[in-house]
Structure 1
């Protein structure tokens, strides 16, 4: 017969107190209830555990042997409880994330900072990779979730749009174009530009826009990250078109940000492996990310 752990707990307390009444007081149960639990345990193990004498219970040799087993049981249960607590707090396993640089360099550190105030013992591993690598990490189940720019080529994960926004122009504060409210392709004619490498999807859209306007971009410097582009703009090396999350992370008196028209879509998605159920901690961290996202996009609007 499989007994509830409370029966073994009652037995352990009776062994320590020496009386049914004392055990009942400790457990917050009635004396008859504790007596029935002891009777059930004796019936289950098939041996007599106590001799009743003048209001006291005297444990038999079998009771002492059983106590050793019960105490080992409760040590194991305590270990399981401790394991559950560590898992809940993120001390074991923790959260693994992969994020593209636009979100991984400044945005996610702020998200993790907010998350850690609620979960100070949680372990977090943040891998900053280009979107194509983030896609691979999620598809091969190496992370709890990823943040990458659409579109995607692989399968094995579910997606939902995390941010649907547009790229904006970054201009040196002392440049004449800093006075414009909106930057258009014709403003960039003959201007030194800091552009993306051809591997970045937004580069291809930008090139199509400029070609449609009959302008050959003067892109003397190319890079893969908006953060690097902002740092170059601050140094007067040219103008750039960057994502709003990087712009939010790079406030500086030497740079101003303006809308760019026609719009270049900036769509970041949340990727989660198909075969892995989101953990409580991962869900909480995603919630912090969504809250900060709303703040960023409101600030940059």
Structure 2
């Protein structure tokens, strides 16, 4: 039989102290118990570890040969123990998060900052992508979690609603529609409309609304990100229709934002692997993410009648 870890601890202590009494004191155990464990270690190994010379124990050649290997094993086990403790307390590891671009810039920074303050030793990896790709990353366990607008149809992921955003319009400050506190779909009838792609929830919802109102204006520019839409509005290319986070970004850039009626609510959702336990960092980040989403979506989850957040 192989010696136990405790047997080897007694062996190392006796090697360092030169006697069982001092070794037992160092290990916080009784001298008879230490002597018994040392005998058991010798029985399991099949050879003597020490020869008695008066009151002192002299290591055998086999003991000297065993010591370096034991010290290496002890160091490795100590490293494993420290790593396990760090992982248990969320002080080490890696967290991979995927998000659609607007949420990667408007929602995740606050959550990441709070998470990093609590878990400075955890490496955070952020990836901006489409909602479809985000679901695939989570389902394939290449991302611990993801945040998207709208729901995912991927049955391999679990969806949790974080809140509801609203859809509104972005205008240049001197635009003719700036005098309106709210805009309806018909107000856009003569306007060139800048929209997110039809593969994104906002773009899909806008096109569905436009299909029901033939007199409404047409989408003249299709973009992949809210930041691009804002740049086009600044350049005078048209009026953009964005989700609440895109409106927040536009407002910060000095553009006008207006609620769009009828209201088109859009859910913000968290994706996790289905039937898969979260890591400690992922569970902690989820809590910070929910707090950040609650703050960002509070108070109407969009813009007021004056176009202010």
Structure 1 length as normaliser, TM-score?
A: 0.83
How far apart are 1:16 and its partner, in Å? Answer: 0.5
1:126 aligned partner: 126
Native 8 Å contact 2:103 2:147 kept in 1: yes
1:34 aligned partner: 34
1:25 aligned partner: 25
RMSD: 2.9
Native 8 Å contact 1:107 1:249 kept in 2: no
Native 8 Å contact 1:144 1:276 kept in 2: no
1:12 aligned partner: 12
How far apart are 1:289 and its partner, in Å? Answer: 1.8
Render the CA deviation track for 1:212-239: whole Å, top value 9, x for unaligned: 4563214333223222222333444333
Q: Distance in 1 between matches of 2:111 and 2:217?
A: 36
Native 8 Å contact 1:174 1:254 kept in 2: no
Q: Distance in 1 between matches of 2:21 and 2:219?
A: 88
Q: Distance in 1 between matches of 2:207 and 2:44?
A: 80
2:306 aligned partner: none
How far apart are 1:65 and its partner, in Å? Answer: 3.0
Structure 2 length as normaliser, TM-score?
A: 0.81
Q: Distance in 1 between matches of 2:140 and 2:48?
A: 58
Could you tell me which runs of 5 or more consecutive residues in structure 1 were left unpaired when the two chains were aligned: none
After superposition, the Cα gap between the structure-2 partners of 1:217 and 1:43, relative to the gap in structure 1 and judged at 3 Å, is: same
Alignment of 1:228 with 2:228, yes or no, is: yes
How far apart are 1:9 and its partner, in Å? Answer: 1.2
Moved more, 4-13 or 114-123: 114-123
How far apart are 1:242 and its partner, in Å? Answer: 1.4
Render the CA deviation track for 1:47-85: whole Å, top value 9, x for unaligned: 332334443322233332332332232133134346546
Alignment size in residue pairs: 299
Equivalences for residues 146-295 of structure 1 within 5 A = 146-175=146-175, 177-212=177-212, 215-252=215-252, 254-274=254-274, 276-295=276-295
How far apart are 1:126 and its partner, in Å? Answer: 2.2
How far apart are 1:131 and its partner, in Å? Answer: 1.5
Native 8 Å contact 1:230 1:240 kept in 2: yes
After superposition, the Cα gap between the structure-2 partners of 1:272 and 1:50, relative to the gap in structure 1 and judged at 3 Å, is: same
Native 8 Å contact 1:102 1:246 kept in 2: yes
Native 8 Å contact 1:185 1:215 kept in 2: no
Native 8 Å contact 1:98 1:143 kept in 2: yes
After superposition, the Cα gap between the structure-2 partners of 1:226 and 1:253, relative to the gap in structure 1 and judged at 3 Å, is: closer
